[in-house]
Amino acid sequence: MKKYLFIVLLVGFWSCEQKENPPVQIHGALFEIMHKGDLSSRISLNQFDNDANIFALGALKDLEGEILILDSKPFISYETSNREVGISNDFNHEAALYVSTVVNNWNELKLPANVNTTQQLEKYIEEISSDNHINIEEPFPFLIKGVSSVVNWHIINWDSKDTVHSHQKHIESGLSGVLDDTPMTILGFYSKNHKTIFTHHSTFIHMHFLTDDEKIAGHIDDIIFGDNQTLYLPI
C-alpha cells in the first residue's frame, strides 16, 4: 500500500512539473517560399483583430513586408515609396508565413552576460528549459527586452518578377541596416523540429524586433545581445 501511494505521489509530482508549451500555430513554410516560389496568402490577419494576448511573426503575402504582433498589437513593417520604413498598426493584411501563439503570462529571467550570439542563446535556452517547465522538443515563443549591442536587420520587399529565391536575396531585396546599442523588444520562436518551416536550416530560432521608439520593426539576421537584457519564457 505504501509503495502504491509513493508511486501515485511521484506521478502526481511529475505531472505538476511537466507543463505543455503554449500551442504554436504555423501557416505557410519557408521551403515553399524558397523552393516553390509560393508567396500566396496562407491566412488573413483580420480574424485576430479582437483576440487577446497574441504574439506572432512572419512575412506578408508576396513578401511585401514583415509581420510582428506583440500582445495583440500589430507592427507590420514595409518599405515605403521613398525607401523608408513604414509601420502599419492594423490587422488588414495577409501572410505568406505566419507563426503565432497566445501567452497570458511570462517568466522573467536575466539574460546572462556571456550569452552574446544566437548560437549561445540556443544553448542557454536548452540548458534552462527543464527548470522553466519548457518542453524543448516542441516549439515555443520567447521575448527579449533591453538594449541590444548590434542588430543586423532587414524588411523584405520582393520583386514579383524574380522567381529565383535565396536567403541572401531576401535580405537584400528591401530595406536593411545595422542598429547599435538600441533598446528594443524581440519576439522569437524556438524549435528543433521546424527547420525550413519557420527557421532557416542553420538555426533553431526565428526572431523579429521592434525598437522602443516604434520607428523600426523587422527581421533579425544577426545579433549581439547586450549585457543587461531580460529573457521572458511562457508560463
Continuous segment of H or E residues that includes residue 168: helix 167-172
Whether residue 55 is found in the same domain as residue 113: no
Are both 76 and 39 inside the same structural domain? yes
Task: Write down the pLDDT at residue 18.
Answer: 54
Supply the pLDDT for residue 72. 98
Average model confidence (pLDDT) for the chain?
A: 90
* Residue 174's CATH number: 3.30.1330.80
Residue 21 one-letter amino acid: N
pLDDT digits (tens, 9 = 90+) for 5-41: 444 444 444 444 557 999 999 999 988 888 788 899 9
Last residue of a domain, one of 73, 101, 129: 101
The structural domain count of the chain equals: 2
Instruction: Identify the segments of the chain with pLDDT beneath 50.
Output: 2-16
pLDDT at 80: 96
Same domain, 79 and 112: no
Residues 93 and 123 both lie in one domain? no
Q: What percent of the chain has pLDDT over 90?
A: 76
Answer yes or no: do 179 and 223 share one domain.
Answer: yes
Cell of 214: 516604434
Residue-range definition of the domain harbouring residue 95: 24-101
Q: How far is CA 58 from CA 122, 132, 187, in A?
A: 20, 26, 11
| Domain-located, residue 5 | no
H/E stretch holding 145: strand 140-155
Choosing from 67, 101, 135, the residue where a domain stops is 101
The contacts of residue 109 (CB under 8 Å, 6+ apart) are 128, 132, 230, 231, 232, 233
Environment class of residue 121 by beta-carbon count within 10 Å: exposed (0-12), middle (13-18) or buried (19+)?
A: buried
What confidence score (pLDDT) does residue 17 get? 53
Q: Say yes or no: 132 and 185 in one domain.
A: yes
Q: Smallest Cα–Cα separation from 88: which of 46, 41, 52?
A: 46
Residues 135 and 228 in one domain: yes
Task: Indicate whether 124 and 148 sit together in one domain.
Answer: yes
10 in any annotated domain: no
The pTM score is 0.89
Give me the pLDDT at residue 11, please: 43
Do residues 215 and 125 both lie within one domain? yes
Find, among 186, 196, 174, the residue nearest to 223 by Cα.
186
> Going by C-beta distance under 8 Å and a sequence separation of 6 or more, which residues neighbour residue 37?
163, 165
> Is 37 within a domain?
yes
